[in-house]
Amino acid sequence: MRLAVIIAAVVALAAFPKLATPYYVTLLLPALAYAIALLGFNLLFGYTGLLSFGHALFVAIGAYGAAVMSSKLGVKSFELILLASGAAAVVAAVPVALLSVRYVRIFFGILTLAFGMLFHSFLFKFYDITGGDTGIRVLRPSLIGMDFKELDKTSFLVGPFYYYCLVLLVLAGLLMWRLVHSPFGLQLQAIRENPRKAEYLGVRVRLLRFIAFLISALYCALGGVILAINTGQSDPELAYWTHSGELVFMTVLGGFASFFGPVVGAFTFVLLKAELMGLTQYWRFVLGVILVLIVVLFPRGLAGLGQAAWHKLRGARP
Amino acid sequence: MTAFVDILFGGVFHAAVLFLVAAGLQLVFGVQKIVNLACGSFYALGAYFGISAVNWALKLGLPPQLFLGVLLLAGLVLGLIGPVIEALLRTVYHRDEAFQLLLTFALVLMFQDVLRFFWGANPQQLGDLVMSYGKLSAGGVIVPTYNMLVILASIVIAAGIGTFLQRTRFGRILRATAENREMSQGLGVNVRWMYASVFTLGTVLGTVGGALVVPTAAASLDMPVELVVEAFAVVVIGGLGSMRGALAGALIVGIMRALAIRYYAELEMLAIYLVVIAVLIARPVGLFGKPVE
C-alpha cells in the first residue's frame, strides 16, 4: 500500500511539468532540494535523536561549492559539482562532528548552532574570498555532459534539471531507506531510545553518531547544490541560524517520526511559504502560528496525521 | 591608554546590555529548563516600544531629561506579555527539548511580523536624545553620560537579582524549584505561579535591556535574530543556568567585540564563536555551570 502511494507520488511529480505552469515547477525545485537535505537531516534528528540547530552550515557548503566550482573554477559538470561539494561538506563535517557528538540534547544543539554561525560570519565578513553579503553567482551546469544551450534558463530548470533532481531524490531516498533499515539504522534508533543501554549491548554510540552526522552533512550539501543552481546565487543567509531553524521546522511539520515525513514537510513548507508570501507580507506570522499548532497539537506532524487518518479509515471498514 | 579606556567603555557598555538579556535567558533556563530563542525578540520589542514611549512622553510635554525613566517604564510594562507567552510554553514543559526549542522559534517568527506590523520595516532611531545627559570625560576618552548610566543601571539590576535570589524567601523557593521541581511541588510550592513569575521576570530583563540600548543604536528587524546568538554565546561561555556565568560571559563577549571592532573588524563575531567553541570543548558546562546528568 505504502509502495503504491510512493510510486503514485513520484509519477505525479514526474508528470507535474507537463501539467502545471513553469512558476509552480520552479517552486518544486527547492522542495526537491530540501527533501534530499532533510532525508539526511532526519537520520540525525529523527533516527539518532540529535537535534542540530546548525545544519544550514552544510547546505551553505553545498551552495558555495556549486558557486566556486561553476564561477571560479569553470567546472560545468553537475556530477562533478555534486561530488566535490558533497566531499567538501563531509570533510568540513569531520571536525564539527567529532566535537559535537560528544554532547547530546541542548548542548549538541548550541554547539552546532555556533559552528553554523562561525561559517556564516566567515562568509559574511571575508569579502574577498566569499563575495560578502552578495555572495557568488552560480552558473548553469551541464548534465551528463550535455549543456542544453538551446534552452533558456527557465526551460532548462523546469525541464532536464527538474527531472535530474527528481531522479536524485528517488536515489537518495532509496539509499536512505536501505540505511535506516540496515543494522546500522537499527543501532542508531537504539541509541536514540537509550544510549546507555545501547552501549552495554555493544553499540559504538559515538562512532555511529559520528557517521550519522557525516551522512546528514552529505545529504544537506547535495540539497544545497540544487538550491544554489535554482536561484543562481549563493549568499551567507543560507548558513544563518534561522535557516537551520527552517530545516527543523520542515522536518517537524512533515513528521520526524516517519521516514517520509521530512519529504512531505519539505514540499508542504516550500509551497505554503510561496503561497503565503503572495498573499500577505506577514507570512512569517502565519508560519509561526502553524508551527505553534504543529508543536502543541500535532507533534507527529503531517505524516502522523495521515497515518492516524488511514488507520481510522481502515478501522471503519474492517 | 586612550585606546584601552575606549575599548573598556565600549565593551562594558555592550556587556551591560547583554547581561540583562542573558540573565533573563539564564533565569528561564534555570527554572523551566527551556532555552528561549525568543529572548532576542523581547529585546527588540523593548527597543521599538521604548522609542514609541519616549516619543509619546515628549509629545505630552515631559522634559527630555526624564527619558531614561520612560524607557525603564516601557520595558517594565512589556512584562505584561510574559504570562501570556508562558501560558503557551506551559503546553510543552513535559515534552522533548526539540519541541520547546521549536516553539520559541515559532515565537521568533511571529514577533518578527508583530514588529513589522507596528513599526514597519525601516530601522527606527531616537535621534540625539542621548546627549541630553551630557558627556563625561575619563582617561582621555569622552563618553556620553547616558552610557555610564546604563552600565550603572545594569550593575544595580545585577545586584538586585543576586540579593533577590540569595536572600529573599521567594528567591530561595525559586532556587529550590530549579533544583527539584517535584520535591518543591510536594512541599506545597505553587509551581505554576512560580513558572509564570520567573518567565515574566526573564521577559522584563530582555525588554528593559532593549529599551535601554535604543538611544545609542537603531532598532531594526535584524535585532532579534542577531542578539540571540550573542546572548547564546554569553550563556554558553558562562555556563547555562548560572547568573555569575551570565555576568562573566557578558563581560568576555562585550570586551572581545570591542577589541575586534577596533583592531580587526572581520573578526567581530567570528572571534566570539571561536571562544564559544573553545569553551564548549574545554569545559562544556561553561565557566560557572554545574555538570549535567
Helices A205-231 and A78-100 sit at what angle, rounded to 10 degrees?
140
In degrees, rounded to 5, the angle at the alpha carbon of residue B231 between the alpha carbons of residues A281 and B249 is: 170
Give the HSE-up count for residue A241: Cα atoms under 13 Å, Cβ half-sphere.
28
Task: Quote the minimal CA–CA distance from B121 to chain A in Å.
Answer: 11
Burial of residue B58 (CB within 10 Å: 0-12, 13-18, 19+) is middle
Residue of A110, A115, A121 with shortest CB distance to B269: A121
Give the HSE-up count for residue A135: Cα atoms under 13 Å, Cβ half-sphere.
20
- The pLDDT of residue A218 is 93
8 A C-beta contact, residue A265 and residue A250: yes
Nearest residue in B to A283, CA atom? B113
Q: What's the structural domain count of chain A?
A: 1
Would residue A222 count as lying in a domain? yes
Interface contact flag, B108 A241, Cβ < 8 Å: no
Residue in this structure with the C-alpha cell 512558476, named with its chain if needed: A23
Mean pLDDT by 10 residues, chain A (318 residues): 79 76 82 92 89 91 88 80 89 88 81 85 78 76 74 75 87 90 85 83 84 93 91 84 90 87 90 86 88 86 82 70
- The pLDDT of residue A238 is 86
B129 CA to centre of own chain:
22
B188 membership: H or E segment, kind and range: none
The CA distance from B237 to B47, in Å, is 25
**Which residues of chain B make contact with A248, given a CB cutoff of 8 A?**
98, 101-102, 105
Burial of residue A72 (CB within 10 Å: 0-12, 13-18, 19+) is exposed
Would residue B291 count as lying in a domain? no
According to DSSP H, which parts of A145-299 are helical? 153-156, 162-180, 183-193, 195-200, 205-231, 241-254, 261-279, 283-297
- The pLDDT of residue A98 is 86
The CA distance from B126 to B124, in Å, is 7
Residue B292 has pLDDT above 80, yes or no: no
Helices B223-238 and B97-119 sit at what angle, rounded to 10 degrees?
140
Would residue B292 count as lying in a domain? no
8 A C-beta contact, residue A94 and residue A214: yes
Q: What is the SS3 assignment for B34?
A: coil
B105 membership: H or E segment, kind and range: helix B97-119
**Which residues of chain B make contact with A114, given a CB cutoff of 8 A?**
232-233, 236, 273, 276-277, 280
Note the ipTM here: 0.84
Residue B125 has pLDDT above 70, yes or no: yes
- The pLDDT of residue A318 is 46
Which percentage of chain B shows pLDDT scores above 70? Answer: 98
Residues 6+ apart with CB under 8 A from B11: B251, B254, B255, B256, B257, B258, B259
Substitution target from B32, B102, B227 for chain A, most A beta carbons within 10 A: B102
- The domain in which residue A207 lies consists of 30-241
- The domain in which residue B36 lies consists of 2-282
Nearest residue in B to A247, CA atom? B102
pTM of the model: 0.86
Residue of B225, B274, B281 with shortest CB distance to A99: B281
Burial of residue B203 (CB within 10 Å: 0-12, 13-18, 19+) is buried
Interface contact flag, A114 B112, Cβ < 8 Å: no
- The pLDDT of residue B293 is 42
Give the HSE-up count for residue A91: Cα atoms under 13 Å, Cβ half-sphere.
9
The CA distance from B68 to B54, in Å, is 9
Would residue A126 count as lying in a domain? yes
End-to-end CA distance of chain A: 16
> B131-184 pLDDT, tens per residue?
777 777 776 777 788 888 888 888 998 888 888 888 888 888 888 888 888 888
Instruction: Name the DSSP letter for residue A248.
Output: H
Per-residue confidence band for B82, with pLDDT thresholds at 50, 70 and 90: confident
Q: What's the structural domain count of chain B?
A: 1
**CB under 8 Å, gap of 24 or more: what pairs does A204-212 form?**
A206/A101, A206/A102, A208/A48, A208/A184, A209/A48, A209/A50, A209/A97, A209/A101, A210/A97, A210/A98, A210/A101, A211/A184, A212/A43, A212/A44, A212/A47, A212/A48, A212/A50, A212/A188
CATH code of the domain in which B118 resides: 1.10.3470
- The region of weakest confidence among A210-219, B49-58, B60-69, B187-196 is B60-69
**Which residues of chain B make contact with A289, given a CB cutoff of 8 A?**
106, 110
Interface contact flag, B103 A115, Cβ < 8 Å: no
Would residue B245 count as lying in a domain? yes
Residue of B107, B232, B281 with shortest CB distance to A110: B232
Pick the more confident residue, B182 or B210.
Answer: B210
Task: Quote the minimal CA–CA distance from A271 to chain B in Å.
Answer: 18
8 A C-beta contact, residue A31 and residue A270: yes
The CA distance from A171 to A146, in Å, is 21
What phi and psi, each to the nearest 5 degrees, are found at residue B139? Answer: 60, 35
- The pLDDT of residue A1 is 67
In Å, how far are A43, A242, B154 from A64, measured between CA atoms?
23, 18, 42
